[in-house]
Structure 1
Amino acid sequence: MWYHHPEKFLERLDGINILVTRSVDQADIFAGLLRDLGANVSEIPVLAITPPQDYKDLDRYLRDLPSYDWIVFASTNAVDYTVARAAALGLSDALKAVKLAVVGPSTAQAVTGHGYKVDFCPSAFVAETLIEEFPDYPHLQGKKIFWPRTNIGRTVIIDKFSEAGAQVDTAVAYLTDLPADHAHLARTLVGALRAGHIDVITLASAQSARNLASMIEEGLLFEAAEPGKTTTKIENNEEAMAMKSSTIASKEATMQELLGAVQIAAIGPVTARAARAELGRVDVEASDHTIIGLTKSLLASLKFPQKGT
């Protein structure tokens, strides 16, 4: 883990109950920063980051790295898993023979932390800016670009670079999924929300917003299935459809009730869009799309609170 935070903060988060939803391997630094500022931090991961089921595609492209002009890294996980696999294949030096582009400073620190040089980092830390500011874009005819990525998420990088004439190859370097113990975590999450133990939920990726919503729904289903809950006998398909619609509406209303007194904080615009779609609103959106930027935006929002949008 290469991220560090030298900044000094004038404000504090004393007594604020903040939920960190990052994966187990990535939560410590953010949680530690928030605790240093006085926050009461709960850690409930809504993501699990794991190796791919097989390395066939990744290995093929890593062995062919000398033929590529660029590797694009859109996350620290992509860096860590790609570098580790290259080392396992004895190809660490091959990464030095290709230019490396990153989406932001956290990813850049991961690259330099492994001993490699960053050749391009955009001025704003989102894929759209990486594309717009990428060297020679939109004239990428003849360029070969390798994009090691996760198994989910947007394909805007491959779409736009391909439209600009580049050959873009991609392989899964790591998997993003729900945690293995998501059922237990879902019950814990809903219980904490019901008890008023969470003031702020932090989201560091769009998939975090989607998985959070999924786990809240899962926790609510467990509640509904608890002993003592009454059930209704369904006589026909029409009643079943009506019951399903009623259940969906009820879950949405209950989710909004659970989140009503909670601030939802997103690390950037892509995460914020996903949070609005899945959770109904966002209260804090970091202008600097890093955990430092998210922390600063949290401090500002708690000092000057605004209604979510």
Structure 2
Amino acid sequence: MSRPNIALIADPSSPEGCREYLAEAVELLTGAPPVRVDSRHFATGGSGRCAPDGGRLRLQVPEERLDFVPDVVLLYEIPPHRRRDLAAFQELLESHDVVTLAAGPEAWRTATEKNLTVARFERDGVAQMETVVLSDPALAEAAEAFERLGGDTWARPVVGTGGDDTFHVTTPGQLAEATAYYAGHGTDWMLSRDAGNVTPDGLRHQFRVFVLGEQVVHAREHLQPEPDTPCNTCRGATPVHIDPADLPPRLAELAVAATASVGLPFAGVDLAPENGGVVFEVNVQPAFVDGAVEVAKVAVPYVQAHLDAFDLAGGGSPRGLTASA
């Protein structure tokens, strides 16, 4: 069967570098690199054009001399604050039968806006720490929530990335600072009861579980030597890779349930075993770390899932492709 035209559509302003892992995976599996496209061209107000082409979708970016009909689209590494602007593009991909695991805008929004995630988990019975969503609260309102949550909490923005703007709040003074901080940035935020996810030797820890469909394809534990700092690798946490078979079954079940709850076909789920197992969040496009390890264990299965879906749909003949070098 002919090799499909694969577009890797990502935001090059992102520092995570996931697009490099995915491009490597595409070349490993197909023998050819993907066509790279700046996602901002197809966001609201972008210069990219989408035109029907024999029941498919032709993508055009005139200033880059790019004009082609993709069979498969890898839409990845889109910063959270830019995802809403791609909703119309996601809908076009779906309506023109382009093979993609980008899901739909509703699933992206549910996982990206953490207040919606909390509500969805409550609806579906996915275990999480008690959380209060706050929108420009007076300090007295924030203080009432803080006390109700036991005075040991984490504050985080409704939309954020990499643990940025997230604080461990354990005193009234820290609460006042957090309240003023979010008010100054004009963002809604949340307070969650601390999960007590600290190892006996004092390391804050959590698990990142990669779910593809109903299967865990990879996992890692994040160990953070600063217990008041989020457990993100970009904030200094050390990742320890875990074979899916060695992951506690309760965590695997929770990760799959959380992914299904928000409606994603692929996700990176952050959770901890304490309190019987609780989910912190579901990452729409989880970052990859450690080079070859996660190319093989995450990027390759992710790309292969697209190729399998393409084959299941009947494949197709190569489409016209014109792109600048």
Specify if TM > 0.5. Answer: no
Larger radius of gyration: 1
Larger relative contact order, structure 1 or 2 (CA cutoff 8 Å, min sep 6):
2
In the superposition, the TM-score normalised over structure 1's length comes to 0.27
